[in-house]
Amino acid sequence: MADISIIGAGSWGTALAVLLHKNGHKVTVWSIVEAEIAMLQKEREHKDKLPGVRLPEDMVFTTDLAEAVRDKDVLVLAVPSPYTRTTSQSMAPLVKEGQIIVNVAKGIEENSLLTLSQIIEEEIPQAVVAVLSGPSHAEEVGRGIPTTIVVGARKKTTAEYLQNIFMNEVFRVYISPDMLGIELGAALKNVVALAAGIADGLGYGDNTKAALITRGITEIARLGMAMGGKIETFSGLTGIGDLIVTCASMHSRNRRAGILIGKGYTMEQAMDEVKMVVEGVYSAKAAMGLAARYDVQLPIIEQVNKVLFEGMPVDEAVKNLMLRDKKIENPLIPWDDTM
């Protein structure tokens, strides 16, 4: 049995708390919001973000960060991506040498263009940092619906240790050394999911969705490989797998926000309506910053940025994508002109 703290009591953090408790671990859940912790202690259910999922009586809830961090075997960092740096700064004096932190949020910091694990390593250099990602909506994990994800870590021993902690009969865990590829797939799929939602809001169909998913993973892999990620990662669970589920499911806050934008809402109105952090909005500008740094074209993500931040009408963005210069789908496949 491991002693584990979940830092962040949103839907994903709460779902993982339930999973880890079922696996026999001692679980503490921390939130900076006193009203949220009081509600969890009293109701034993996150009625706002994970309704219907009961929280065990022996699960501990606290607003005391020192209580949550000190002497724990594993810290699961589950705060929304915009708060990763500030939360890491608060945790840093409390984290002991070699303590494991598993980041489960998804995003890229807009100003620094760092992945979330890179931020944690920068702020808490004494920690051993890993990531957990994949097609895994909290609403389903909390209910015990079969799910498959990936743990990424620099050392295989760390990944195997976490694999044993998280894995059970309904939560299958693979391991990978490609932390960069895992995190880029996780962050950028949210931007493509906004585009998929916009298409749904415009009333487009399955043809459009398939095109966005297929060309979207091409963009993600193009940038990811330029940065040092592995093609196998982008064709796996944390690449195409996570992209499919985020573009197709109404559990996806990014898709839901996109639908509203497609129907005429502004970005701010859509985010207010969804009532949760829409990670893709925060990663969209960072993606374009990375594209400029690595000289990579991201046409779908570029048009999403123009809709979000430049006021471009969504139908004009679609036209821009459809009327781009003629292309070969895969220039690596040779032509045989003798036939």
Q: Is residue 192 a part of any domain in this protein?
A: yes
Same domain, 155 and 234: no
Q: Are residues 76 and 133 in the same domain?
A: yes
Among 146, 177, 208, the domain boundary falls at 177
Q: Choose, from 189, 209, 230, 285, the residue flagged as catalytic.
A: 189
Q: Are residues 165 and 245 in the same domain?
A: no
CATH of residue 304's domain is 1.10.1040.10
Q: What is the pLDDT of residue 21?
A: 98
| 339 lies in some domain | no
pLDDT band at 60 (very low <50, low <70, confident <90, very high): very high
Phi, psi of 310 (to 5 degrees): -120, 5
| Known catalytic membership, residue 42 | no
Does one domain contain both 129 and 17?
Answer: yes
What pLDDT, on the 0 to 100 scale, is given for residue 332? 84
Q: What is the pLDDT of residue 267?
A: 86
Residue 128 has pLDDT above 70, yes or no: yes
Report yes or no on 328 lying in a domain: no
Mean pLDDT calculated for residue range 59-70 = 97
Q: Which of 177, 199, 219 is the last residue of a domain?
A: 177
d(CA 219, CA 229): 13
160 and 285 share one domain: no
Residue 339 has pLDDT above 80, yes or no: no
Structure tokens at 165: 């902690």
Residue 216 has pLDDT above 70, yes or no: yes
Together in a domain, 74 and 159: yes
Confidence band for 324, pLDDT divided at 50, 70 and 90: confident
Burial class (CB within 10 angstroms; exposed 0-12, middle 13-18, buried 19+) of 292? exposed
Domain match, 22 and 82 both? yes
For residue 42, pLDDT beyond 80: yes
The Cα–Cα gap between 216 and 251 comes to 20
Instruction: Evaluate whether residue 327 is within a structural domain.
Output: no
Residue 334 lies in a domain: no
What is the pLDDT confidence band of residue 277, given thresholds at 50, 70 and 90? confident
In a domain, 338, yes or no: no
184 and 154, same structural domain?
no
Q: What is the CATH number of the domain that holds 106?
A: 3.40.50.720
Whether 115 and 198 map to the same domain: the answer is: no
Same domain, 248 and 284: yes
150 and 64 in a common domain: yes
211: pLDDT strictly greater than 90: yes
Question: Is 95 a member of any domain?
Answer: yes
* Residues 7 and 37: beta-carbon distance below 8 Å: no
The 10s digit of each residue's pLDDT in 82-93 is 999 999 999 999
Contact 89, 65 (CB under 8 A): no
As a whole number of angstroms, the distance between CA 23 and CA 168 comes to: 7
| Domain identity same for 121 and 266 | no
Which pLDDT value is given to residue 206?
A: 92
The domain total for the chain is 2
pLDDT over 90 (residue 30): yes
Residue 18 CB coordination number (10 Å): 24
337 located within any domain: no
Residue 123 dihedral angles phi and psi, to the nearest 5°: -85, -30
Chain mean pLDDT for the chain: 95
The residue among 128, 146, 177 that closes a domain is: 177
Q: Which domain holds residue 201?
A: 180-322
Are the C-beta atoms of 322 and 308 separated by less than 8 Å? no
